[in-house]
Amino acid sequence: MFLLATNKRDITTDFIVLELERRGLPFLRLNTEELAGARIRLRPQGLRFWEFEVDGTVFNLDAVQAGYYRRPQSPLPPSATLSPLVQSYCVDEWSAVLRSLWNALEGKWLNSPFAILRAEDKPRQLREALALGFDVPDTLISNDFECASAFVDEAPSIGKPLRRALVAQGGHGEVLFTSRISGLQHGDAEAVAIAPVIYQREVVKACDVRVTVVGDRIFATAIHSQSTDETSVDWRKGARTDLAHEAIELPASVQRLCLSLTRRLDLSFGAIDLVLDTAGRYWFLEINPNGQWAWIERRTGMPIASAIVDCLVEKGL
């Protein structure tokens, strides 16, 4: 059996569900926000160490051949009638159960939750990419106004978040897109000091390239972001559904770098963002160890879901 640790709104997991069903492979989709509605039985001394009962279906941890950790969410409290203090306690206890589950399946995940956590470290990503030989734009991560101001004054630069691209509160949110920075004024000092930001030299783009690595397979997509002014700096801006996507073949040297980076980060899956400049040079921006890919499959027809299930099956042998 294959375990999909996810949330009920994740469309990407739907693609894996369809592929598993197509192959007739048994699986359990565990929407972790609903975990408090399950029953668990753990007996360290017993033959059946760990059992879950979800919606009347019982499964034992020993039956799990491989798992896909795909953006699970924190468990919700078991009852809205509980006091806030008791709700917080229950959420912490169920979260502890999840961490134990992640640990118990170590070695069976497509990407280990703990490897994902380590690989999300963007300074580490940039250092590893440089060490492997990727071209990486000159980068500064700082909240020091004088340092940031001097950096952006040297050459055309962009700014982007270090960790989170969404500022959300009370059901409302604002996406922080990558943006050009044309110079900082002394009146910006207080804002700059609030939190570190990634400042990076702007690459003159021919297009953006999303590289999805699954095991030893590479699916590269050119995203023609320069076709509109709105998407020229950040192709996600404006949610342009008409933005052309094209399956491409990367140079062998770039393919090797992409495979080497995912392996160095202890990953079997990685969504790598590159930029192809107007001189034909590929630049590394970042790698998302748990990134989206369903829209790539939908737009290009590349069989990413099938490749992921192949990896899960291979891990389960």
Give yes or no: residues 20 and 65 share one domain.
Answer: yes
Is residue 230 located within the same domain as residue 251?
A: yes
> Residue 272 above 80 pLDDT?
yes
Give Cβ neighbours of residue 173 (< 8 Å, ≥ 6 apart): 166, 167
Give me the CATH number covering residue 163. Answer: 3.30.1490
Q: What pLDDT was estimated at residue 34?
A: 93
Q: Do 102 and 249 have their domain in common?
A: no
Domain-located, residue 22: yes
Residue 110 above 90 pLDDT?
yes
Q: Is 315 part of any domain?
A: yes
* Residue 140 neighbours by CB under 8 Å, 6+ apart: 147, 148, 151, 198, 199, 200
CATH of the domain at 261: 3.30.470.20
Same-domain status, 8 and 40: yes
pLDDT of residue 73: 95
Give the count of alpha carbons within 13 A of 228, CB side only.
Answer: 14
Are residues 100 and 213 located together in one domain of the fold? no
Cα four-point dihedral sign 242, 247, 249, 253: positive
CA 238/CA 203 separation, integer angstroms? 21
* Residue at which a domain ends, from 182, 202, 222: 202
Rounded Cα–Cα distance for residues 17 and 315 (Å): 17
Residue 77 C-alpha from the chain's centroid: 26
Instruction: State whether 90 and 232 are in the same domain.
Output: no
| Total tally of structural domains belonging to the chain | 3
pLDDT in tens, 12-49: 999 999 999 999 999 999 999 999 988 998 888 766 67
Domain assignment of residue 299, yes or no: yes
Alpha-carbon distance values, 103 to 67, 96, 108, 115, 119 (Å)? 12, 11, 10, 12, 17
Confidence band (pLDDT; 50, 70, 90) for 285? very high
User: In this structure, is residue 41 part of a structural domain?
Assistant: yes
Same domain, 233 and 188: no
7 and 146 together in one domain: no
Structural domain includes residue 114: no
pLDDT-derived band at 280, boundaries 50, 70, 90: very high
Q: What is the pLDDT of residue 43?
A: 83
Tens digits of residue pLDDT in 184-231: 888 889 989 999 999 999 999 999 999 999 999 999 999 999 988 888
Residue 9, domain member (yes or no): yes
Q: Is residue 116 part of a domain?
A: no
| Together in a domain, 165 and 184 | yes
pLDDT at 46: 66
Same domain, 169 and 46: no
Per-residue pLDDT tens digits for 73-107: 999 998 888 899 999 999 999 999 999 999 999 99
Of residues 118, 123, 299, the one with CA closest to residue 224: 299
Q: Where are the beta strands (DSSP E) in 257-307?
A: 269-277, 282-288
Task: Say whether both 226 and 261 belong to one domain.
Answer: yes
Q: What is the pLDDT confidence band of residue 9, given thresholds at 50, 70 and 90?
A: very high
Is position 11 within any domain?
A: yes
Domain that holds residue 262: 121-134+204-317
| Residue 171 scores a pLDDT above 70 | no
Which one of 154, 171, 202 terminates a domain? 202
Long-range contacts of 226-235 (CB under 8 A, 24+ apart): 232/205, 233/158, 233/177, 233/178, 233/179, 233/180, 233/202, 234/160, 234/177, 234/178, 234/179, 235/208
Same domain, 166 and 298: no
Q: What is the mean pLDDT of the chain?
A: 92
DSSP 8-state secondary structure symbol assigned to residue 62: G
Q: Is the pLDDT of residue 168 over 70?
A: no
| pLDDT at residue 279 is higher than 80 | yes
| One-letter amino acid for residue 164 of the chain | R
